[in-house]
Amino acid sequence: MTMNDSMEKAAFAVFIKKLLCPQLWAGAVVVMDNLPAHKLASIVPMIEALGASVICLSPYYRLF
């Protein structure tokens, strides 16, 4: 999926529903970082309904 602008919640939800979910299987693992679009409440249930699981990475920070 190619976008000309930044990723926003609605576009990410379409990506998950139309492109990622059809490719997932029971036992698959999806790793997401802290992009605000990843925090949409409907994303994790969509993935888990397929028997896959989600790992959310801890927040990143800069040391300098």
Instruction: Express each pLDDT in 3-62 by its tens digit.
Output: 788 778 999 999 999 999 999 999 999 999 888 888 899 999 999 999 999 999 888 766
pLDDT at residue number 34 = 84
pLDDT at residue number 28 = 98
Task: Retrieve residue 22's tokens.
Answer: 């059809």
Task: Retrieve residue 35's tokens.
Answer: 């992009």
Cα angle value 35/41/47 (rounded, 5°): 85
Round to whole Å and give the CA distance between 35 and 62.
Answer: 16
Contact 27, 51 (CB under 8 A): yes
pLDDT at residue number 39 = 87
pLDDT at residue number 45 = 96
pLDDT at residue number 31 = 94
